[in-house]
A and B are shown apart, each in its own frame.
Chain A
Amino acid sequence: DTGVSQDPRHKITKRGQNVTFRCDPISEHNRLYWYRQTLGQGPEFLTYFQNEAQLEKSRLLSDRFSAERPKGSFSTLEIQRTEQGDSAMYLCASSLVAGGPNNEQFFGPGTRLTVL
C-alpha cells in the first residue's frame, strides 16, 4: 500500500498522560500536514512541514503539542499532559509542493484519540 499510513489507529489514554502519533506520507511527497477533526466538524489545520522544516503552526496548537519531521519523511505528533478536550481524530495528509493541476492532499486513515 503506497498511501498515507498512520499509527496507531486508535489510542485510549488517561488525562495527564503523553501520547505520540506517527504518520508515514506517500514517499515522494515533500509536504506533510496534520489536522484535527471532532465529531460533526470538518478537519482543522494544526501544522505543516515542507521536507523537514515546519512552516506553519495553527493557534490551535498549544504548547502541549509538538510535531516533528526529522528527516523529511515520517512525522510524529506528540501531545503532552492530555486533556479530555484533546479527544478527536488526528489526520495526517501529504502532497507535493507543486502537485499537478489539482495539488490535492492525500489523507491517511487517522488516529482516533480518546482521553478518559
Chain B
Amino acid sequence: SQKIEQNSEALNIQEGKTATLTCNYTNYSPAYLQWYRQDPGRGPVFLLLIRENEKEKRKERLKVTFDTTLKQSLFHITASQPADSATYLCASSGSTGFQKLVFGTGTRLLVSP
C-alpha cells in the first residue's frame, strides 16, 4: 500500500539556522507531494506543492525538493524563526491525481531563540 514516512522525532534548531525535514515514499509514484503546517489543536494549513517533474519549488523562506530516484522530498525553512515551530506534514495523492491525501506522521520542529 502507499506509504509516506517522516522522521517522527522532533527537530530542534536555533533561530536563524536552516531546518531540513525529510519525507520518503514507498510502493508507488506520486504525481505530486504537498507540505502542510499544523499547529496544536488546529487543522493543517497548505504550504507548498511540488510535482514529480519538478526538482525544486520555492516560496519565500521555504524550499521543497523532489527526488524521484531516491523517492524522497526535502522541505527546507531558511532563516528559521521561533514562529516556525509547528508540526510539518508531507502528503501525497497517490499516482492518480488530485483526490484523497495520504499523510505522513509529521515532524515536529522546535526553533529556539
Assess A93 versus B43: contact at CB under 8 Å? Given A48-B99, A103-B49: yes
Instruction: Kindly state the separation between the CA atoms of A43 and B104 in the bound complex, as whole angstroms.
Output: 8
Instruction: Determine the residue in chain A with the shortest Cβ distance to B98.
Output: A103
Chain B interface: which size bin? 20 to 34
Q: Are A106 and B106 in contact (CB under 8 A)?
A: no
For A84-116 the 0/1 string (1 means CB < 8 A from B) is 000000010101011101111111111010000
Question: Which residue of the partner chain B has the closest CB to A96?
Answer: B98
Candidates B4, B41, B98, B102; contact of A99 at CB < 8 Å:
B98
Question: Are A98 and B98 touching (Cβ within 8 A)?
Answer: yes
The number of chain A residues touching the other chain, given as a range, is: 20 to 34
- From the candidates A4, A40, A101, name the one contacting B49 in the complex (CB within 8 A): A101
Tell me the smallest distance from the CB of B89 to a CB of chain A, in Å.
5
Indicate whether A45 reaches chain B with its CB closer than 8 angstroms: yes
CB–CB B44/A102 < 8 A: no
Which residues of B pack against A, CB within 8 Å?
Answer: 4, 6, 8, 34, 41-46, 49, 89, 91, 98-106
Give the interface of A toward B (CB within 8 A). 4, 33, 35, 40-45, 48, 56, 58, 91, 93, 95, 97-99, 101-110, 112
